[in-house]
């Protein structure tokens, strides 16, 4: 019984199609009939040829059965069955079993319809046409040559034969259709279940999506707040430190102050990296193209990296194609950021040898170029395997070896994202322990047809600039460039330390400065005194900077309804500048504020007659 179950299970296994299962049924039945047929033939002493023919039939059926189950995808076995049954067996039976008056007509009809269940449409049409010709051929041959037909003994036998054929054909087709319907229903039910499961999964995904969106929003606002909170104390630290660097003569203290300055800027760039990353991730990062000077980028990169490289005894050089346009149009800030990321990495990951920054270009059309920037180092290099993950966020390679080198693993992923945003490409060519070359290609508009010339030659002409000992905080930045003793400004900030930072940074300008620690206090001052400029913090408790600005503008008897107000804020999020300008501020300075930024801004907004420039002889 178990054995039978196994055989049945094999011939009706789930992965077989219905067509296959039908083929198995037919061949199985044929085998069951043919096998005793051979034995009977031997027993009754049929002639050798008769026995051989029966045996051959048995062999053919067995081979086809094996074939169809061994190679279930093969279309041949069903075609063989259809052809043998319709074209050989049934026509012979027509003449051997009594002709038109018997059940053979029904069997021939059965064969013709059954063909369509076994073979595909193309073969179905071919076999049906042949069937039609054969069937009508049989009818005509019987009519013309009735002597070829072995008629049954009498009409009663014919009726019995026809009735039996009718019963069999009905039962076989009935069973087939029932079985097909059963399988389709089973499949439909399975599909309905899958459908239901998918719907539930979809609902869960939508819910998860909503949760993610709100988590991402929470992350954004958390980052915005953190940015503000962290930048505010850094502002105080760096501002006060700048005062020490300006005023102190003690070498040891100056060294301490320099260290504070570099660590402070490092912390700041870390906060900026995390902010940039989250802005890019949330799709809030925008490009701000401007016209910029190529030489200025080269020169600043040189100044910023030269000392870092020198401290590690590395050679640092800039090479450039002198034909690069002198002025280009693009997002200068992000291009600088890309170059600085690559350069600081090159210095970080190189123990000895050199770092080379190279600028090339290729014309794409009359008004556009591809700016090609490459940074080459002779450092630790990156293995081919690691190169695949190089631009992934937070991915640091060879953490063990590099654990003494500071980094978040964000620099390259931000660099790649900026490059993508600008429609450019970034690639790396590196050999482990020999060095790496990072190459960035960015499309840029030409703003001026003049060319930049050789960087080295221009640098040599500027002499001192090239040997300037500075990172981003060039000491020349800290020199006051003007005085304005007759100008009066009001600084508004709820953090006392920040007020002092601004006051001290502007000390040498001689500007008269009033300090207000809240929006309310500011409004009292603006009723009493006329100011040339107001520097206003944004995020203050009770009345924020924007409200204070609107109230100044609307103040009845106010003396400052048209005084330029500059936003001075730690809010460094994207779109901040646009937001402040649209609110009515004339300009925007991001904290931590540097003396040079403050002075540059004041030079723009203070009345010209109150400014005494250094070049005026003062």
Which positions lie near ligand ADP, rule CB under 6 A? 345-346, 349, 377, 379-382, 390, 396-398, 402, 407-413, 436
Alpha-carbon span 187 to 414, nearest angstrom: 50
Query: Which C-beta is closer to ligand ADP: that of 23 or that of 346?
Result: 346
How many Cα atoms within 13 Å fall on the side-chain side of residue 44?
8
Query: Which C-beta is closer to ligand ADP: that of 413 or that of 498?
Result: 413
Query: Which C-beta is closer to ligand ADP: that of 130 or that of 428?
Result: 428
Q: Which one, of 288, 443, 298, lies nearest residue 367 by Cα?
A: 443
Contact by Cβ (8 Å): 490, 516: yes
Q: Which residue is nearest to ligand ADP (CB)?
A: 407
Query: Which C-beta is closer to ligand ADP: that of 396 or that of 503?
Result: 396
Least distance between ligand ADP and beta carbon 361 (Å): 23
Query: Which C-beta is closer to ligand ADP: that of 86 or that of 413?
Result: 413
Least distance between ligand ADP and beta carbon 402 (Å): 5
Least distance between ligand ADP and beta carbon 415 (Å): 7
Alpha-carbon span 223 to 228, nearest angstrom: 8
Least distance between ligand ADP and beta carbon 355 (Å): 9
Q: Which one, of 374, 391, 272, 379, lies nearest residue 333 by Cα?
A: 272
Contact by Cβ (8 Å): 69, 25: no
Query: Which C-beta is closer to ligand ADP: that of 3 or that of 394?
Result: 394
Helix (H) / strand (E) element for 292: namely strand 290-293
Q: Which one, of 516, 477, 481, 486, lies nearest residue 606 by Cα?
A: 486
Alpha-carbon span 236 to 405, nearest angstrom: 27
Query: Which C-beta is closer to ligand ADP: that of 11 or that of 349?
Result: 349
Q: Whole-angstrom distance between the N-terminal and C-terminal Cα of the chain?
A: 115
Least distance between ligand ADP and beta carbon 296 (Å): 24
Q: How many CB atoms lie within 10 A of CB 351?
A: 10
Least distance between ligand ADP and beta carbon 238 (Å): 22
Query: Which C-beta is closer to ligand ADP: that of 349 or that of 359?
Result: 349
Alpha-carbon span 566 to 585, nearest angstrom: 5
Alpha-carbon span 239 to 256, nearest angstrom: 15
| Dihedral angle sign, alpha carbons of residues 101, 102, 106, 112 | negative
Degrees (nearest 5) of the Cα angle 577, 581, 584? 145
Least distance between ligand ADP and beta carbon 327 (Å): 30
Least distance between ligand ADP and beta carbon 336 (Å): 16
Query: Which C-beta is closer to ligand ADP: that of 108 or that of 280?
Result: 280
Query: Which C-beta is closer to ligand ADP: that of 54 or that of 374?
Result: 374
Alpha-carbon span 67 to 63, nearest angstrom: 6
Least distance between ligand ADP and beta carbon 190 (Å): 49
Contact by Cβ (8 Å): 548, 558: no
Degrees (nearest 5) of the Cα angle 445, 450, 454? 105
Query: Which C-beta is closer to ligand ADP: that of 207 or that of 429?
Result: 429
Query: Which C-beta is closer to ligand ADP: that of 407 or that of 443?
Result: 407
Contact by Cβ (8 Å): 594, 237: no
The bridge status of strand 565-569 relative to strand 587-590 is parallel
3-state secondary structure of 189: helix
Contact by Cβ (8 Å): 252, 293: no
Least distance between ligand ADP and beta carbon 418 (Å): 12
Query: Which C-beta is closer to ligand ADP: that of 16 or that of 274?
Result: 274
Least distance between ligand ADP and beta carbon 395 (Å): 6
Least distance between ligand ADP and beta carbon 260 (Å): 22
Contact by Cβ (8 Å): 477, 596: yes
3-state secondary structure of 373: strand
Alpha-carbon span 279 to 220, nearest angstrom: 8
Q: How many CB atoms lie within 10 A of CB 76?
A: 11
Helix (H) / strand (E) element for 589: namely strand 587-590
């Amino acid at each position: 019984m178990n054995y039978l179950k196994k055989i049945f299970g094999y011939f009706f296994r789930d992965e077989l199609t219905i067509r296959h299962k039908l083929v198995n049924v037919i061949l199985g039945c044929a085998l069951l009939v043919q096998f005793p047929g051979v034995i009977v033939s031997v027993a009754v002493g049929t002639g050798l040829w008769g026995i051989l023919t029966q045996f051959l039939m048995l062999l053919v059926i067995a081979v086809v059965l094996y074939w169809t189950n061994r190679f279930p995808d093969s279309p041949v076995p069903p075609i063989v069955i259809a052809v043998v049954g319709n074209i050989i067996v049934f026509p012979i039976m027509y003449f051997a079993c009594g002709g038109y008056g018997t059940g053979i007509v029904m069997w021939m009809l059965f064969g013709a319809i059954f063909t369509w269940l076994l073979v595909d449409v193309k073969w179905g049409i071919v076999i049906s046409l042949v069937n039609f010709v054969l069937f009508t051929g049989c009818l005509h041959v019987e009519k013309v040559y009735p002597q070829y037909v072995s008629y049954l003994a009498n009409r009663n036998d014919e009726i019995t034969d026809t009735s039996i054929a009718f019963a069999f054909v009905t039962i076989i087709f009935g069973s087939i259709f029932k079985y097909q319907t059963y399988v389709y229903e089973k499949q439909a039910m399975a599909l309905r279940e899958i459908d239901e499961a998918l719907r539930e999964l979809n609902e869960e995904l939508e819910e998860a999506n909503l949760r993610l969106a709100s988590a991402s929003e929470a992350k954004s606002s958390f980052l915005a707040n953190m940015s503000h909170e962290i930048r505010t104390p850094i502002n105080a630290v760096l501002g006060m430190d700048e005062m020490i660097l300006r005023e102190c003569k003690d070498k040891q203290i100056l060294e301490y102050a320099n260290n504070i300055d570099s660590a402070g800027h490092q912390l700041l760039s870390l906060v900026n990296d995390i902010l940039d990353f989250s802005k890019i991730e949330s799709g809030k990062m925008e490009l701000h193209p401007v016209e910029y000077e190529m030489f200025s980028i080269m020169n600043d990169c040189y100044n910023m990296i030269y000392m870092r490289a020198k401290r590690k005894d590395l050679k640092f050089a800039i090479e450039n194609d002198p034909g690069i346009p002198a002025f280009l149009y693009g997002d200068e800030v992000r291009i600088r950021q890309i170059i600085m990321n690559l350069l600081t990495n090159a210095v970080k990951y190189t123990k000895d040898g050199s770092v080379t920054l190279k600028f090339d270009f290729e014309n794409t059309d009359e008004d556009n170029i591809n700016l090609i920037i490459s940074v080459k180092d002779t450092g630790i290099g990156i293995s081919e395997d690691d190169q695949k993950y190089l631009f992934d966020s937070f991915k640091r390679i060879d953490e063990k070896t590099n654990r003494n080198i500071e980094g978040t693993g964000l620099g390259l992923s931000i660099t790649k994202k900026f490059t993508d945003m600008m429609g450019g490409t970034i690639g790396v060519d590196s050999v482990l322990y020999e060095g790496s070359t990072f190459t960035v290609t960015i499309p840029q508009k030409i703003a001026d047809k003049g060319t930049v010339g050789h960087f080295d030659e221009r640098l040599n002409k500027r002499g001192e600039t090239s040997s300037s000992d500075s990172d981003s905080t060039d000491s020349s930045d800290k020199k006051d460039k003007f005085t304005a003793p007759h100008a009066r400004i009001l600084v508004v900030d709820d953090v006392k330390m920040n007020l002092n930072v601004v006051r001290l940074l502007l000390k040498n300008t001689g500007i008269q400065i009033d300090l207000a620690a809240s929006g309310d206090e500011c409004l009292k001052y603006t009723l009493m005194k006329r100011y040339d400029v107001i520097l206003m913090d944004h995020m203050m408790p009770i009345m924020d900077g924007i409200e204070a600005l609107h109230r100044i503008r609307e103040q009845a008897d106010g003396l400052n309804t048209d005084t330029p107000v500059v936003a001075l804020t730690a809010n460094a999020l994207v779109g901040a500048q646009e937001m402040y300008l649209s609110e009515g501020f004339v300009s925007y300075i991001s904290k931590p504020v540097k003396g040079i930024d403050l002075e540059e801004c004041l030079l723009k907004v203070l009345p010209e007659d109150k400014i005494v420039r250094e070049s005026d002889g003062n």
